[in-house]
Each structure stands twice: as C-alpha cells, then as structure tokens.
Structure 1
Amino acid sequence: MTQLFFSDYHPSERPSAAPQPLVIFGAGGLGREVLVLLNQLNEAGANWDVCGFYDDQPPATPTVAGLPYLGTAHDLNQTQEPLAVAVAVGSSASRAAVVARLTSPQLTFPALVHPRVRLAPSQRVTLGAGCIIQQGCILTCDITLGRFVFLNLCCTIGHDAVLEDFCSLMPHANVSGAARLGTGVYLGTNATVIQGVRVGASTTVGAGAVVVRDLPASVTAVGVPARAIINEQ
C-alpha cells in the first residue's frame, strides 16, 4: 500500500519534471473519461505524456479521442522502456483480469487522483497502485483503498472505511464510516453502504440499493434495503 502525501497529488506543488509516458488500457468510454482526467491533471501541473490506447478489443477506428490505438495486452507487454499504465476498465472482474495479463516489469501503475479531490496528509488516506479517483469525490479520514480501486464521479467515502483491491464505485456511490468492501466489490450508481457494514468479495450492489446489513461474497444485491437475489458462484 502506498501512502500519498500532499505533493503527490497536487503536482503543481512539485518542481517541473520531464514528461512521463503513459498509456491507457481500455479504449471505450471510460478510457476517454480517464484521458480527460489526465488532461486535467496536466493542467494542474502534472506532466503525463499520454501516448495512446491499448485494448484487447480493437476500436472501430485507428484513433480514439485523437490518440492512436496501439495494440493488445500482449503488445503492451513487449515494451522495452518504462511506461505508466492507467487501466480504464469499469468492471471489477474485468479490470483484475487485465492487470493479471500485464506482466512486463517495465510497466507501472500510478494512482491518479483528480486535482480537486482533497487528500491532505492529515486525512491519513492510503491508496494502492493503480487507483483512479474521478472529479467530485469526497474522502474524509483514516481510509484505506487497495490496488486498482476505481471511484467514479462524486463518490463519498467515510472515516475508517476499507475498500479492498479492484473495488469499483459508479457515480454518486456512498460508503459510510467503518464499512468494508471485499476484493472486487462493485457498487452501482447511487448505491449506498451504511456505517460498519461489510460486503463480501466479488459482490455486486445494484444502482440505488442501500446496504444496511452484511452481504456475503459473490452475490448480486438490489433494493432498499438491499437483498441478495443471485448467487454468482
């Protein structure tokens, strides 16, 4: 786990550095949104040189948002120089599968946090490699995010919450204080997990659902209050 400090996500506080090459894995709509995030980070003082997109499903055109499509995960693993990668895949399971395929030691996975998301050192927030936090998110204090956690627009995370590796929160999802999401949990748009509740690994919580009691692993839960309807194993 990597502790982020103020200067790590406010790049304008750091001296200027040489451009750092970065590619986006995921050439769909989320990939284009992550490109917007990277442009916003550069406007705030970062220096990412976004080279293009990779995806195992080639796009319909040779360019995406003005940048070239560069190939598949196999092609990306052939890189001979250090290269940062942003994995723009919304599904928790699919994102984990992509990361498992990206095996080159030349690849690194920086945490990318929108420049207007406040993360002061006094908040004691830890982020794992590959986390992406989009605009409008609010994180309070003493929070742990594992590797490759994705927070879409305007999510909120309360005190002492833990989100394990590959969790995915869609826009306006809310995780209350001391809640814990297991590996690969997916919260749909406007889903809420109330204080102290645990959600088991690989469980999907549907859009608008409110989780008021613990959920087991590998189920889909919907409704208010949320109830498990499908066992995915």
Structure 2
Amino acid sequence: MTTLFFSEYEETEPGVPLVIFGAGGLGREVLLLIQQLNAVHPSWDVRGFYDDQAPATPTVAGLPYLGSSADLNATSEPLAVAVAVGSPVGRAAVVSRLTSSQLSFPVLVHPAVALGSQQRITLGQGSIVQQGCLLTCDITLGRFVLLNLGCTVGHDAVLEDFASLMPHANVSGGAHLGAGCYLGTNATVIQGVRIGENTILGAGAVAVRDLPANITAVGVPAKSIKKVNA
C-alpha cells in the first residue's frame, strides 16, 4: 500500500506515457479525469486505449485503439496504465493479465478532491477517485479501488482491493468493504457495517447490518436475494 498526499501529484514529471485499458464509457470518463489533471499540472501523455474487445471504431474520444492485453504486455517502453473497468471481477481479471514489468499503475485522483497529509489517507496502486468525491480522514483504499462520481467515504473506513463504488455511493465511518465489493449508484453502507468480499449492494440499497461474502443484496434495509459466484 502506498500513502499519497495531494501535493505529491505536482511532483510527477511532465509527459509520462499513459494508456487506458477499457475502451468503453468508463474509459472515456477516465480520459476526462486525466485531461482535468493535466489542466492543473501537465503530467500524462495519453497514447490511446487498449481493450480485449475491440471498439466499433478505430478511435475512441479522438485517441487510437492500440490493441489487446497481449499487445500491451508486448510494449518495449515503460507505460503507465489506468484500468477503466467498472466491474471488480472484470478489473481484477484485467490486472491479472497485465504482467509486463514495463507496466505501472498510478493512483489518479481528481484535482478538486481534497487529499492532504492531515487526512491520513492510504491509497493502493491503480486506484481511481473521480470528480466530486469526499474523503474525510484515516481511510484506507486498497489496490485498484474505483470511486466513481460524487462518492463519500467517512473516517476509519476500509475498502479492500478492487472495491467499486458507483456514482453517489456512500460509505460511513468505520465501515469495511471486503475485496471485490460493488456498491451500486446511491447505495449506502451505515457506520461500522462490514460487507463481505465480492458482495454486490444494489443501487439505492442501504446496508444497516453486516452482509456476508458472495451475495447480492438490495432494498432498505438491504437483504440478500441471491448468491454470487465466487
């Protein structure tokens, strides 16, 4: 785990080559995030998109489609990679395929999101924090965590590797999300509640008590409706 503070983003050398894995809608949103970062401090030279499913057109948002994960692994130069895959399972599968030692996975945080040393926030490699997110203090985000637009994370919360929060999801203080958890749009985890690994909390659902691993839960209060294949 790497602890990063907002001021450290200004230390990135300009023109670092970066590619986005994921040529869909989230990939275009991550491109916008990188462009917003570059507008504050030019750091990233975005080369284009990779995806194991080729897009319908040779370009995405004005940038070229460059190939599959196998093509990316064959790179002869160091490349930073932003993995723009919304599903925790899908994102973990992509990361497992990107094995070249030339590849690195930077933390990307929107420039308007407060991230200072006084907040004591730990972020793992490859994590992405989008515009409008609010993180308070003493928070731990694991590797390749995704916070989509407008999410909130309270004090002492822990989000393990590959957790995904969709727009306006809320994690209250002291909550703990296991690896690969997925919170749908406007889902909420109440203070101190633990969510087991790979569990899906549906859009608008509110978890008021602990939920086990490998289920889908919906409603207010959230209740299990089915098992998820681990």
- Length-normalised TM-score, structure 1: 0.97
Aligned to 2:150: 154
- What secondary structure does 2:35 align onto? helix
Residue pairs, 1:30-179, within 5 angstroms? 30-179=26-175
- The alpha-carbon deviation at position 81 of structure 1 amounts to 1.0
Equivalent residue letter for 1:199? I
Equivalent residue letter for 2:211? L
- The alpha-carbon deviation at position 7 of structure 1 amounts to 1.6
- What secondary structure does 2:86 align onto? coil
- What secondary structure does 1:224 align onto? coil
Aligned to 2:7: 7
Unaligned runs of 5+ in 2: none
RMSD of aligned alpha carbons? 0.9
Q: How far apart in 2 are the matches of 1:228 and 1:28?
A: 30
Q: Deviations over 1:80-138 (max 9, x none)?
A: 11100000000010000000000000000000000000011000000000000000000
Equivalent residue letter for 1:203? T
Maintained 8 Å contact 2:152/2:168: yes
User: Structure 2 residue aligned with 1:227, among 208, 214, 223?
Assistant: 223
Aligned to 1:193: 189
Q: How far apart in 2 are the matches of 1:177 and 1:170?
A: 18
Equivalent residue letter for 1:168? S
- Length-normalised TM-score, structure 2: 0.98
Q: How far apart in 2 are the matches of 1:20 and 1:95?
A: 23
- What secondary structure does 1:69 align onto? strand
Unaligned runs of 5+ in 1: none
- The alpha-carbon deviation at position 18 of structure 1 amounts to 3.7
Maintained 8 Å contact 2:112/2:131: yes
User: Structure 1 residue aligned with 2:178, among 174, 177, 182?
Assistant: 182
| Number of equivalences | 229
Q: Deviations over 1:173-209 (max 9, x none)?
A: 0000000000000000000000000000000000000
- What secondary structure does 2:47 align onto? strand
